[in-house]
Amino acid sequence: MIQSPVFEYLLQVTEEHIDELLHVNNVVYVQFMQDVADKHWHSVVLNEWEKEVVWVVRRHEIDYLHQAVLGDELLIRTWTGEHTMVSWDRHYEIIRPSDQKKIITAKSVWVLLDKTTGRPRRIGESLLKRFS
């Protein structure tokens, strides 16, 4: 598998993340995945690309391994993997550093769209190099 360097940041679980079962709601993990992908994208791309293209998700695969609860600190990690002409796999891990438990592992398939036409756009070499 072709893999980019890992991008990561720490997040504190707050009340807004918690559901009636007193753990982080499964849907919230999808938001965490979206947020880390967005942060990773903005950390490496040029402003011109942000004006021209947008990513949309074609597929999510998530394995929920352990629960996270209010006050937990979580390490949110992502990296890119295999790609086609218009899609790119993005991998995720969410880890609780206090006990090194993996909370989730996940993979999404993202498709690059041209903002003007709304159609898929080829992922060029210059973009691939930014993530390597």
Residues 7/40, Cβ–Cβ less than 8 Å? yes
| pLDDT over 90 (residue 49) | no
| pTM as predicted | 0.92
Count how many Cα atoms sit within 13 Å of the Cα of residue 105 in the half-sphere of its side chain.
3
* pLDDT tens figures, 101-112: 999 999 999 999
Residues 55/41, Cβ–Cβ less than 8 Å? yes
pLDDT (0 to 100) of residue 2: 55
Q: What share of the chain is helix, strand, coil (3-state, %, to 5)?
A: 25, 40, 30
Three-class secondary structure of residue 27 per DSSP: helix
> Percent of the chain, pLDDT > 90?
83
Give the architecture (CATH level 2) of 7-130.
Roll (3.10)
